[in-house]
Structure 1
Amino acid sequence: MSTVDTSVSDSDGSAPHRQVAPVLEDIAAGTAEELGVCLRPIALKRVDTHTGEAVTVPVPCGATQSSVCPSCADKARRLRIHQARQGWHLAAEPQVETSEPTTQQRAALGQLADLTEARAHAAAIGDERAVADIDQEIDAAHQLLQTDGLRGSPSKPGESTSKRRVRSTRRRQDTPDLPRRPVQATTTGRVFTAPDGKQYRPSTFLTLTLDSYGPVHTASPKPQHPKPCRCGQVHRQDEGIVGTPVDPASYDYRRAARDAIHFGKLIDRFWQNLRRAVGWNVQYFATVEPQQRLAMHLHAAVRGTIPRTLLRQVTQATYHQVWWPQHDHPVYSPEHPPAWDGEDECYRDPNTGTALTPWDEAIEATLEPDAQPAHVARFGPNGIDAQGVTAGSDKAGKCLGYLVKYLTKDLDACYEPTTDPERDHLDRLAAELQRQPCSETCPNWLLYGIQPDHPHEGMTPGACSGKAHRPAHLGYRGRRCLVSRKWSGHTLSEHKDQRREHVLKTLGAVGTTPQMATPPDDEPGRYRWVPLPHDGPNPPDRTQLLLHAIAQKRRWRQQYHNAVTELSATTHQAA
């Protein structure tokens, strides 16, 4: 009887090699990513209340970060590109219409008016129990109005309004003055006519950069003509030292951290100043990302053209003053923080028992005539770069791609540290951010002998859950994508619906019935949607959800491809 030797050996003495069959779940995940299917689908059960039939439907998670779900993040990125393209070179003013209130909204508003009147009557006669009950009903009415899409949140009856603090708006003496013109309602740029009679309406792509915090290592821009760094050596872009401080001891990490925390306010001030300087309602689509030195900067597509001289003037004259209590020198350490006094509801010195300065008292000190802001955020001396872009050009497409290049990544993942100098630079910035207060209610104020606004038990300095203190945000606490109100005249959800309507219109043009994920709900209230948590008693199988979503995606893609092919052939024959 013959035998077959199934052992694997290499004649060169290397380790044996054995192939293993791939795992089904890994194949499903890889196929889903190739097709653009969500890798972390949310399972919902669709229950027919008439028949009792229940069907599990996978719904995309909708993540915007590729580290969470690359498929959903790429879909969100492409939607943002569509939004940016739609508003960049508009020739007509976008129309933003306010919809008429629905019958349900009017009824809810009438109920809210009745409750407000009833609460005022109960408060007048001193019926505190009735006031508490009515307050709960008022909260429910507010929630109903917000759920129904009504904008605005009026103050609740009985809410105490804090005294408005008045501060001088006089500009700083160390900053140049700004030209100011009446801001007109127009949002479109100028039209230029060429000698041949052709008209152009160019727009602008600009970049805003923060000031320097100290010399950093730089790469030589042209390898054929090496340019030494400040350290005297010539660096390549991939050396792993570019962007790190030449002298970490003198690098101003405190100012870098504060600029990152207040970068959003500085950007808001820039757009406000720019509109006043040019005299029309400048519209923009902007994204925030870090430079290699880990400082924030902004890329923006701006509708219309603005003289570069005026842009530089506005940039140099823009600043944001932070009128917070001075917090340059810590008084306490995270290891020995102030102690909470539950009786007086305040924090006290752990050694002397003296109460810390209340927030309102500390803010009142900043209203004195000789008071100085705790921090002033500015752009760099050469903090702006502006380029003209024409609609439909190759440059316009490249700028749009560059605009959303890092939008699907966390801020700290845009330049992941791979060397010790890069890791040390990131660690020093993160350590400084842990000591800086990020808001009026941040527990870090306790380190500087000041009670945060609305203090409560359990506030721990250095352990604030604010966005600015998370390593993934590098101190920036604002939104990554900033879009002005009249950019395109549509919200992001409306742009999403436009893309969906385009697909349905293409299918309808060739008489194809769209294959929906679920049958249409002809009877309102017939179907009930129930979430199926992954940690529940009967968790849905992830592989089955992926296979279902893959099959659905393939059907949709094939159906759309057939419709486009048939429509193209019909158009060609008609021509």
Structure 2
Amino acid sequence: MSPHLDAGVVHELALKEGVCVRPLLHRVTDRETGEHTVVVMPCRSVRESRCPNCAEAARRLRMQQCSEGWHLDHEPEQADEQEPSDQDDPADHADESAPEQDEQATRRTRSTRRRDDLGELPLKPAEPRTIGAVFEGKNGRTYRPSMFVTLTLRSYGRISPGRGVPTDPTRYDYRTAALDALHFTKLLDRWIQNLRRCAGFKVQYFGAIEAQRRLAAHFHVALRGAIPRSTLRAVTRATYAQVWWPPMDDTVYTDRVPVWDGVDYTDPDTQVPLTTWDEAMRRLDEDADARPAHTLAFGRQVDIKGLLGGTPDADRTVRYLAKYLTKSVAETYTQPEVFDAAYEAHIDRLHNEVRYLPCSPACANWLRFGVQPKDPGPGLCPGQCSSPAHDRENLGIGGRRIQVSRGWSGKTLSDHRADRSAVVRQVLEAAGYNPHEADRMSTETLSEDGSPKYHWQTVHLPPEKASEAIIQSVFERRRWRNEYERAKASVLCNAPPVEVNSATS
């Protein structure tokens, strides 16, 4: 790289050319020949603050996934195995819809009696389908509408209109807001389960968890098929989720920290072991008057829309649903060029609650309440749990920002990515180009003995080498783009004329 080409110029060039601004370098070894090759790969972050180009590519991929499954008129083929998110960003892992179980292996039996203060669920016999019903309109036209729903959480105090900050922070219930954020996905899982019992078919969904301006989580969800609005509202009113954990009302340790003695965490003064997780849960089971540590429910505001596939409204809604996927929860409404002290203080107060409340049975924050986390080990410290849910940028929503049902499109996220690549490959092959580099040195390529032919090893880059890798990516992208444009022009010149009957311009 030229000495006068500094990192800032390279960064701007990468943004302009649409390549990754923090590429990963891999050394690939051919096990048969021993030959080494250096390969530059994008970081594939889903956060705009880390890599705008990779984040935008991830957002468009999610939009494609949403569009393909929303208005299907046939049952999708089920994928053999659904994968966790293959984005290497912790804020988007485990994006499939298996209900969360904190203790799935040792699940305790609780009473299934519903609370008396909530409405009853309008149960309906289920049909073995995932696609929506067809309705006949005028002149014999048929319609297969689907739904778009927005769910919000309850109020925690009065909010200044348009600002998103409490009018009186001392009366705002930050603790409940933090607990609702930490366990929001449990409430969503319960809502989907209830909806499927009440809608009469196995409803499929694609949803995104986002933050309102007041920083409370809300859920935009595309539902396949038409569901009566009365049913959606009744299910939302009747849905709640309970967290059966040891009490979290009284903090036992604040300044003092329990000590690890090699087997248990003990009181720093008396050296008496703290209550174990299993013992705390046993006491909870034996207490006939025990109450859940926290109960979640939705707020009154429910926005419901019916949409038809292929319409401008449906396309616009897909873009709206994916609008904030590239931003973290805390930065959704913040503007780097404008500093709002009141809003930053609001974020800090909510983060202070999220940071020290338990996120799971294994969370280190249980030590603050005199309980040892499940399966404890050395090095645990309250306020330093490794879960991204406690980070200031996430404010309790540390995972599963995207929630997709297994029968949505019948494809994994990798399948959708492969579909986009296949379009380019078909154009290149039709024009006589050999896109051999698409599968170059794949980890799935095997030697004659059945072992992987190539070994991939990550190489850590100093800043100057990272700039060189970006420049290499820019040249490679330009070359690919030129080949693709020439291939398209060649195909168009040789293609026979066809009649165009597109429904959209």
TM (norm. structure 2) is 0.86
- Could you tell me how far 1:456 is from its partner in structure 2? 3.0
Contact kept, 8 Å, 2:122 with 2:231, in 1: the verdict is no
- Could you tell me how far 1:320 is from its partner in structure 2? 0.5
Residue 243 (structure 2) pairs with residue 325 (structure 1): no
Task: Return closer, same or farther for 1:421/1:25 CA change in 2, 3 Å cut-off.
Answer: closer
Residue 130 (structure 2) pairs with residue 187 (structure 1): yes
Q: Which residue of 2 aligns with 1:252?
A: 173
Q: What secondary structure, in the 3-state scheme, does the structure 2 residue paired with 1:310 have?
A: helix
Residue 370 (structure 2) pairs with residue 449 (structure 1): yes
Out of 361-370 and 322-331, give the one that drifted further: 361-370
Residue 334 (structure 2) pairs with residue 440 (structure 1): no
Distance, in Å, in 2 between the alignment partners of 1:166 and 1:519 is: 52
Q: Which residue of 2 aligns with 1:380?
A: 299
Tell me which amino acid in the other structure corresponds to 1:414: T
Q: Percent identity?
A: 43
Q: What secondary structure, in the 3-state scheme, does the structure 1 residue paired with 2:171 have?
A: coil
Tell me which amino acid in the other structure corresponds to 1:371: A
Residue 109 (structure 2) pairs with residue 166 (structure 1): yes
Residue 447 (structure 2) pairs with residue 524 (structure 1): yes
Out of 263-272 and 24-33, give the one that drifted further: 24-33
Contact kept, 8 Å, 1:517 with 1:552, in 2: the verdict is no
- Could you tell me how far 1:31 is from its partner in structure 2? 2.6
Selected match of 1:395 from 301, 305, 313: 313
Q: Which residue of 2 aligns with 1:553?
A: 477
Distance, in Å, in 1 between the alignment partners of 2:213 and 2:447 is: 53
Tell me which amino acid in the other structure corresponds to 2:39: V
Tell me which amino acid in the other structure corresponds to 1:514: P
Distance, in Å, in 1 between the alignment partners of 2:433 and 2:117 is: 67
Contact kept, 8 Å, 2:27 with 2:459, in 1: the verdict is no
Q: Which residue of 2 aligns with 1:543?
A: 467
Distance, in Å, in 1 between the alignment partners of 2:386 and 2:27 is: 34
Count matched residues. Answer: 467
Out of 22-31 and 371-380, give the one that drifted further: 22-31
Selected match of 2:43 from 30, 36, 61: 61
Distance, in Å, in 1 between the alignment partners of 2:106 and 2:174 is: 35
Q: What secondary structure, in the 3-state scheme, does the structure 2 residue paired with 1:268 have?
A: helix
Alignment of 1:286-305 (within 5 A): 286-305=207-226
Q: Which residue of 2 aligns with 1:211?
A: 154
- Could you tell me how far 1:51 is from its partner in structure 2? 6.0
Selected match of 2:334 from 416, 424, 434: 416
Contact kept, 8 Å, 1:532 with 1:540, in 2: the verdict is no
- Could you tell me how far 1:309 is from its partner in structure 2? 1.1
Contact kept, 8 Å, 2:328 with 2:394, in 1: the verdict is yes
TM (norm. structure 1) is 0.76
Distance, in Å, in 2 between the alignment partners of 1:53 and 1:351 is: 61
1:389-422 deviation digits (Å, cap 9, x = unpaired): 1111111111111111111122211122721110
Q: Which residue of 2 aligns with 1:111?
A: none
Task: Return closer, same or farther for 1:350/1:510 CA change in 2, 3 Å cut-off.
Answer: closer
1:104-154 deviation digits (Å, cap 9, x = unpaired): xxxxxxxxxxxxxxxxxxxxxxxxxxxxxxxxxxxxxxxxxxxxxxxxxxx
- Could you tell me how far 1:531 is from its partner in structure 2? 2.7
Distance, in Å, in 1 between the alignment partners of 2:116 and 2:309 is: 41
Tell me which amino acid in the other structure corresponds to 2:351: A
Q: Which runs of 5+ in 2 are unaligned?
A: 82-103, 500-505
Q: Which residue of 2 aligns with 1:38?
A: 20
Selected match of 1:481 from 402, 405, 409: 402
Contact kept, 8 Å, 2:441 with 2:454, in 1: the verdict is no
Out of 282-291 and 52-61, give the one that drifted further: 52-61
Q: Which residue of 2 aligns with 1:533?
A: 459
Alignment of 1:484-495 (within 5 A): 484-495=405-416
Contact kept, 8 Å, 1:33 with 1:71, in 2: the verdict is yes
Distance, in Å, in 1 between the alignment partners of 2:38 and 2:377 is: 44
Tell me which amino acid in the other structure corresponds to 1:290: A
Distance, in Å, in 1 between the alignment partners of 2:440 and 2:195 is: 51
Alignment of 1:75-474 (within 5 A): 75-96=57-78, 98=80, 165-219=108-162, 242-333=163-254, 335-342=255-262, 345-367=263-285, 368-382=287-301, 384-416=302-334, 418-474=339-395
Tell me which amino acid in the other structure corresponds to 1:511: G
- Could you tell me how far 1:507 is from its partner in structure 2? 2.1
Q: What secondary structure, in the 3-state scheme, does the structure 1 residue paired with 2:111 have?
A: coil
Task: Return closer, same or farther for 1:552/1:177 CA change in 2, 3 Å cut-off.
Answer: same
Q: What secondary structure, in the 3-state scheme, does the structure 1 residue paired with 2:361 have?
A: coil
Task: Return closer, same or farther for 1:573/1:332 CA change in 2, 3 Å cut-off.
Answer: closer
- Could you tell me how far 1:263 is from its partner in structure 2? 0.2
Tell me which amino acid in the other structure corresponds to 2:457: P
Please say which structure displays the higher CA radius of gyration. 1
Contact kept, 8 Å, 2:187 with 2:240, in 1: the verdict is yes
Q: Which runs of 5+ in 1 are unaligned?
A: 1-20, 100-160, 220-241
Task: Return closer, same or farther for 1:91/1:453 CA change in 2, 3 Å cut-off.
Answer: same
Out of 353-362 and 272-281, give the one that drifted further: 353-362
Tell me which amino acid in the other structure corresponds to 1:68: R
- Could you tell me how far 1:295 is from its partner in structure 2? 0.7
Contact kept, 8 Å, 1:47 with 1:53, in 2: the verdict is yes
Distance, in Å, in 1 between the alignment partners of 2:446 and 2:235 is: 57
Distance, in Å, in 2 between the alignment partners of 1:174 and 1:567 is: 66
Task: Return closer, same or farther for 1:163/1:45 CA change in 2, 3 Å cut-off.
Answer: closer
Task: Return closer, same or farther for 1:200/1:570 CA change in 2, 3 Å cut-off.
Answer: farther
- Could you tell me how far 1:72 is from its partner in structure 2? 1.4
Task: Return closer, same or farther for 1:249/1:182 CA change in 2, 3 Å cut-off.
Answer: same
Task: Return closer, same or farther for 1:449/1:51 CA change in 2, 3 Å cut-off.
Answer: closer
